[in-house]
Structure 1
Amino acid sequence: MTVVAGIGPDGRGAGAVHLAGRIAASTRQDLLLCCVVPDAWGRASATSGADADWRRHLEAVAAEAIAEARTVPPPEVRVDAVVRTARSVPRELVAQAERAEATMLVVGSAGDARMGHIALGSVSTWLLHRSSLPVVIAPRSFWSEPTDRLERLVLAIDSDDGAQAALDSTTLLARHAGVGVALATFGVRRLPAFPDGGGRRADDAVYDVWREGIDALHDRAAALVEAAGVQVTDRFVVVADSWRGAVDKVHWREGDLLVMTSSREGPVRRIFLGSNAPRIMGQVPVPVITLPRR
């Protein structure tokens, strides 16, 4: 089994290498470093001229980035590397990952993300709408020591459909990593402020019904996780007046990996984020893995 980490020819994506190395060491997988040199003009067959000279320069820089990246993963992880030239960087990353029969594809966050948080760039956005493989995104400036390992998977669920689709993959990853699973549901609740209090009372009734359904969902999911031989370490139902407020109520661990599922509206065997997933993803201080819809 192989984890693929995508890095840029200029060395961008170091966080992805650190995270991929941690995951590979935790799950006893190999690591493939994949650097794609963009070919904006679609002339990969050109062997002379200014465009070819520039491409050779980028390939040389990419080779240096790969050499440096090889020093990052824990020493017990077997590391291979490829450098490719392609018009579409994310499409080539997926092609290389599929060729390697990878279990997941790890990429870094956009450069404008808050330190320690995630922001989607052009590559990660493409992957999170079209990839057939699980995609892991490292927060900006993510760093991992050679001895660091995954400590807990936090599975975000809000419906039976989403939970059932993710449980098999989550418990399999948890068993390979030797970690437990926490169940988490995030919600935003903005209370109406009507003078007579009627709106608040109506909202309380709706919230109570929703909370009962979520608690029952967690009971069912916990039973399935434990039946698969994985410990349920925590159960969170966190609600605030903003996504950031809800996320901040969770006691995150340094070795956490948040597991998110694709929207039920997306195509089968592809990742397709719903409207809330990017909002949660942008607030959490830990890496995120998104699973394709099954």
Structure 2
Amino acid sequence: MSDKELLGLENRTDPSQPLRVLAVWDPRNADSESLRVAAWLSHSTRVKVRVVTTFSQPWGSKQGKKYRAWLRAESQAVETAVRDALETEGIEKSALAKKFSVFVAGSSRAQLLSDAAAKFNADILLLPSSQSAAKNRILAGSTADALLHYSPVTLGLTPRAVKLSKHGISRVNFAYTDETGNADDPALRAAAAFASRLGVALRILAFSPAGLAQTPLNANLDVAKKLTSDWRERSLGLLDVARDITGEAHPELDISAEVGSGSGWRGAVDSLKWKKGDLMVLGSHPMGAFARVFIGSTATELLPHMRVPVLVHPVAR
């Protein structure tokens, strides 16, 4: 695979080259999870951070001199607020892009963010948590949900009010979510490359949630147990192959593998031990001829129960 075909995290293995991080920020949001994760990344590796703030502008709005004057004034005010917020989160000036704040207006917030990521040549687009999310859980709002279905850039999602290690990322996790069960997942390679860049351990995960195999009208416990047992056995085999593949590509990595088992997706996630320095990487499914984020049903079910920051890696066809 040539460098041009490598995507996002997999194309940023050289720690001397900064990760280009675009953090989405709303000054009306009392919490700044996206900026906190940007700071967390800056404590782990070299980064260049830009902050983007959006303004929803309906179709047909007039854009005369008064509007342009307002846009300039608002952009300046936002830049001042961004500078203060970045300082509060402890992001050093050396980690900031020369143009560290942009203010954009338009009718589609998802399109504005996608365009801003393309202009910045971002490696990661960090989205804030929905204020409706439970503490330490992820809830994708309408903008995040839209981007999860077509973004060409790795998306970062953060649990609301998450507490992160002051020392940065200490372990990269990868979870299988592709229903095809392909061990050689491109997102696994990306997670391994990212762990190698950071010089931290890699944990490869599969989840075996109990109770999902029961039918609503004819709940046969023996059949359900057999399906759950088969799922777990397939997961263990998948992890064995994954460790071999990753260990061969990155012999320097400390690699572990675990299966999370419990009642439903939450029980499976909560059955594992999580650290403040943990980062999760999830893959997506191919969509069309271009690289896009497109999460499948398993990842959709898993996301709301994650209690650590998640990077959703786009997969090329």
Structures share a fold, TM > 0.5?
yes
CA contact (8 A) 1:35 1:66 kept: no
Who is 1:156 aligned against? 175
Who is 2:96 aligned against? 79
* Matches for 1:18-57 after TM superposition, within 5 Å: 18-41=36-59, 43=61, 45-48=63-66, 55=71
Query: Match of 1:259, SS?
Result: strand
Structure 1 residue 165, shift from structure 2 partner: 1.8
Say whether 1:10 aligns with 2:28.
yes
Query: Taking structure 1 as reference, are residues 56 and 11 closer, same or farther at Cα in structure 2, changes over 3 Å only?
Result: farther
Q: Structure 1 residues 65-74 or 175-184, which shifts more? A: 65-74
- CA deviation map 1:159-189 (0-9, x unaligned): 5437522122111211121111111111322
CA distance in 2, matches of 1:38, 1:89: 7
CA contact (8 A) 1:152 1:257 kept: yes
Structure 1 residue 102, shift from structure 2 partner: 1.8
Who is 1:270 aligned against? 292
Structure 1 residue 57, shift from structure 2 partner: 6.3
Say whether 1:210 aligns with 2:231.
yes
CA contact (8 A) 2:278 2:308 kept: yes
Who is 2:81 aligned against? 65
CA contact (8 A) 2:172 2:195 kept: yes
Q: Structure 1 residues 211-220 or 159-168, which shifts more? A: 159-168
CA distance in 2, matches of 1:224, 1:13: 40
Dislocated runs of 4+, deviation >4 Å: 51-58
Who is 1:174 aligned against? 195
CA distance in 2, matches of 1:107, 1:260: 15
Gap runs ≥5 in structure 2? 1-17
Q: Structure 1 residues 94-103 or 155-164, which shifts more? A: 155-164
Q: Structure 1 residues 31-40 or 104-113, which shifts more? A: 31-40
Query: Taking structure 1 as reference, are residues 76 and 234 closer, same or farther at Cα in structure 2, changes over 3 Å only?
Result: farther
Instruction: Give the partner amino acid of 2:261.
Output: V
RMSD of equivalent CA atoms: 2.7
CA contact (8 A) 2:188 2:283 kept: no
CA distance in 1, matches of 2:101, 2:23: 11
CA distance in 2, matches of 1:177, 1:155: 15
Query: Taking structure 1 as reference, are residues 237 and 77 closer, same or farther at Cα in structure 2, changes over 3 Å only?
Result: farther
- CA deviation map 1:31-51 (0-9, x unaligned): 112222332345473222xx6
Who is 1:245 aligned against? 267
Query: Taking structure 1 as reference, are residues 233 and 74 closer, same or farther at Cα in structure 2, changes over 3 Å only?
Result: farther
CA contact (8 A) 2:208 2:228 kept: no
Report sequence identity in percent.
24
Instruction: Give the partner amino acid of 2:49.
Output: L
Who is 1:221 aligned against? 242
- CA deviation map 1:3-55 (0-9, x unaligned): 1111124356611011012113312122112222332345473222xx66765
TM-score, L = length of structure 2: 0.80
CA distance in 1, matches of 2:271, 2:49: 34
Aligned residues: 286
CA contact (8 A) 2:183 2:238 kept: no
TM-score, L = length of structure 1: 0.86
